[in-house]
Amino acid sequence: MSSLRLSRLPGALAALLLLAPAARAAPSPVLWSAALGAPIHTPPRATPGRVVVATAQAHGANMFGLNPASGTVLWRRATGGPIQTRPAVAGGQVFVTFDTGPLHHLRALAARTGAPLWDYLRHQPPECMCSHQATTHSGLLFTQTDGHSLYAFRPDGAAPARRLWRFAGDGARLTRPAMADRMVVFGSADHHLYARDAATGAARWTASTAFAVTAPPRIAGGEVLAADRGGTVHAWTLASGRPLWSFAAAGPIDAAPVLIGRAVIVASAARSVDALGLRHGHRLWHLRLPDRVEGAPLPDGAAVILAGRDGTLRAVSVRSGQMLWNVPLGGVPRSGPRRVGRAVVVKVGDHALAAFAAATGAPLWRFRSRAVLTAPAVAGDIALVGTSAGRVVALR
């Protein structure tokens, strides 16, 4: 306000206006933003000392390594084929799958420099290794073809990958594998759960379910947990596949069961959440919601955090099912909640990312973009997103 306008006000009011602090806009949560020049459709991947990003073009550089502190591009690499899925990272290597004509590639790059380390090629045209992202467990690397095969590798530094074994299914889509005690377990749309020896691929046991298993299984305490599309949660012994218990939820289950201590949390498409005892599968509590939960529930100490498609973020006591807090998201969630430092971050709609205090649900910040955002990735206390405009954005 100008001195001329202040002079027309009563003296006491003018003095108060001069002493009052100017209103300030909320500080931006953006730490840095890096332009990579092509749309980004899969979340970035954080590694020690690097942020790895794949962009959606077949020609030119489409793999990038960024400095996580500044967003500076440290390396870029052209694979020669479009990357459809999020790269995996383990042991200082980045694993990416893509196609070039009839060739299907699994390629390893050095996470620090982007230098190519090895390629695994296949020539079977109907199969596509890039239909499922590569995953890593306990020093092994797994990739899946378009619907029915699982490949296991032991990547050894800069040496070519050594394929350990292949599981050839009957055309039904497989889930991502889980691994423990030298066993690999995965579900299938053919109404089965398969357990294989991690080193050889030899069959250990197979269990039948009444419906397709589309969510990855969980392994805990010597038990394998899996949910099928009919809404039943099953538990088997890991060692032998002996059935332990089953529980019928109110509707289909699309996300993997979540383990918090000795409780199993499952969210169904019938707008309900159940907590089950790990040992016997008995229901501990049941929660009915106005709409279904987006993504998987987030374990958070003694609480489980749920992003409801009614536009509400909720924290629920694992022990009792009592509501601890709930806050409006300001839109429909498009990702499950992610823990980022002391915050919980959720993608809201296609163009926003919102952060809330994990302890209380208090709003912390909101980032909006004209471009479509990926789901958030986590790098310590930093949230990372890619955009359809070709940018990587770090937020805190």
Q: CATH code at 103? A: 2.40.128.630
Cβ atoms 347, 355 nearer than 8 A: no
171, 202, 221 - which closes a domain: 171
178 in a structural domain: no
pLDDT (0 to 100) of residue 25? 56
Question: Which residue is it, tokens 């990739």?
Answer: 143
**Pair (54, 167) in one structural domain:** yes
The residues, ordered by sequence, that sit 6+ positions from 393 with a Cβ below 8 Å of its Cβ are 30, 32, 33, 367, 369, 384, 385, 386, 387
DSSP 318-346: TTT--EEEEEE-SS-BSS--EEETTEEEE
322 and 251 in a single domain? The answer is no
Structure tokens at 65: 């390594």
pLDDT of residue 14: 41
> Quick check: is 9 in a domain?
no
Return the pLDDT at 156.
Answer: 72
- Do 226 and 120 fall into the same domain? no
Counting Cα atoms < 13 Å in the Cβ hemisphere of 55 gives 25
pLDDT tens string, the chain, 396 residues long: the values are 433 333 344 444 444 333 444 445 578 999 999 999 999 999 999 988 999 999 988 889 999 999 999 999 999 999 988 888 899 998 899 999 888 877 888 899 999 999 999 988 877 655 555 556 688 888 899 988 765 789 999 887 666 667 899 998 777 889 999 999 999 999 999 999 999 999 999 999 999 999 999 999 999 989 999 999 999 999 999 999 999 999 999 999 989 999 999 999 999 999 999 999 999 999 999 999 999 999 999 999 999 999 999 999 999 999 999 999 999 999 999 999 999 999 999 999 999 999 999 999 999 999 999 999 999 999 999 999 999 999 999 999
Global confidence as pTM: 0.88
Distance CA 337, CA 358 (A): 10
Locus of tokens 């910040």:
365
Domain of 66 in residue numbering reads as 50-171
